[in-house]
Structure 1
Amino acid sequence: MALYIGLAGPMGSGKGKIAKILKKRGFRYISLSDVVRNHATKRKLEHTRKNLQDVGNDLRNVYGAGVLGKIVRETIKHASGQDWVVDGIRNPAEVKELKELTDFHLVGVSAGKEILVERMLDRAREGEEEKTKEEILESIERGLGKGEPKDGQQVAKCLKTADVLIKNEGTLKELEDKFDTFYSSLSKNE
């Protein structure tokens, strides 16, 4: 039977690192952000964080808060027998849609805001090199749900529904060890 692991957490928390670990173990990768990027491209919008956050919110507002989870669920359920890592979960309704998959587990990844800001400064994406700490913190808080509508980004609420919450404030090895503790418990249940 296929295993589905969803990842939720603020920017810079380490979701991408866990996704890389799972890809090395043969998991296929899909991100709800890919769906949002496709829609931003269709709208001829630059792929800035703000634009992507706005497009994602617009899709959730128009088609329902779980729409991105539903699109991804329908995509991966037809890839029979393959394990998947689902990244970029930002609303509890997306979690609800993905939980309809048998053997779906949500991993929440978190870190203190100061650490998140420093990581985002270190990995500034194209067009974001000039962002200030305050702008990055504002973007992180928006993703967590500050000032967002119910059908908007609500990462903090997603973290509360996680099957495991990993605090990632150490080394990459420590993150991998924490994740492996959870992952090995899944393997024992099969």
Structure 2
Amino acid sequence: MIKVGLTGSIGTGKSTVSQIFKKLGAYVIDADKVVHKLLENEKVKREIAEVFGNEVFNTNGEIDKKKLAKIVFNFPEMKKKLEKILHPKVRQEIENFIKEVYKRDKNAVIIAEIPLLIETGLYKNYDKIIVVYAPKDLQIKRLLSKGFSKEEALSRINSQIDIEEKLKYADIVIENTGSLEELEEKVKKVYEQLKQEAEEK
């Protein structure tokens, strides 16, 4: 088995890369999806209500993710409080996933897609770190095409460690500046290399 931490910055194409890995046969877990599931958990909702009050809930008693995002991206101290609630639970979910996969497949290539892999220090838990790279101007362009304003795009990008800094932690860099076909080809080569390493371990 080989445990791989996959990261990048917003707009670099991490999720596209992890989906390609999944199609090729890797076991993929996405920290953002784990967070979305946790935000529907009643215990987590109570913890969030204690810190943020009821204004982050909609009329159905569900967490309004847009309102929550607006607060945490504008107030760093609130971001820290939210991370304190969520990060240990996300870590636990990922660990459980890895244990379950290992029971079934000793030669597994496990990819954990974690946006804050470097920021949280979680990169130390993985055999290999993959950074999906795109230059900042391309990140902004992609976010604008998704409907973000320039200000929102910059605020999201700046809330994470600069992509150039993340490259220093990478064992493997997948550059995502061309077509989807080119990206698929790059990911396929990386997957074959990881599969071989997993079988040799």
TM-score, normalised with respect to structure 1: 0.71
Partner Cα distance (1:67, 1:91) in 2: 15
Matched positions, count: 168
SS in structure 1 opposite 2:132?
strand
SS in structure 2 opposite 1:143?
coil
| Structure with a larger share of its residues in helix | 2
Q: Is the 8 A contact 1:68 1:94 kept in 2?
A: no
Report percent identity of matched pairs.
26
Asked which structure has the greater RCO (Cα within 8 Å, sep 6+), the reply is: 2
Amino acid at match of 1:86: A
What's the counterpart of residue 100 of structure 2? 78
List runs of 5+ in structure 1 lacking aligned partners. 146-154
Partner Cα distance (2:82, 2:99) in 1: 22
What's the counterpart of residue 16 of structure 2? 17
Q: Is the 8 A contact 1:113 1:137 kept in 2?
A: no
1:23-172 matches, cutoff 5 A: 23-41=22-40, 42=45, 43=48, 44-48=62-66, 49-50=69-70, 57-58=80-81, 60-61=83-84, 68-79=90-101, 80=103, 81=105, 82-92=108-118, 93-96=121-124, 98-99=125-126, 104-122=127-145, 124=146, 129=147, 131-144=148-161, 158-172=166-180
Partner Cα distance (1:77, 1:50) in 2: 35
What's the counterpart of residue 55 of structure 2? none
Q: Is the 8 A contact 2:3 2:110 kept in 1?
A: yes
What's the counterpart of residue 52 of structure 2? none
Residues 104-156 of structure 1 deviation map (CA, whole Å, 9 limit, x = unaligned): 3221011111111221222x3xxxx4x311221221121236xxxxxxxxx66
Partner Cα distance (2:166, 2:135) in 1: 17
Q: Is the 8 A contact 1:66 1:94 kept in 2?
A: no
User: Cα 1:119–1:66, aligned 2, differ >3 Å: closer, same or farther?
Assistant: same
Q: Is the 8 A contact 2:7 2:115 kept in 1?
A: yes
Larger radius of gyration: 2
Partner Cα distance (1:33, 1:172) in 2: 22
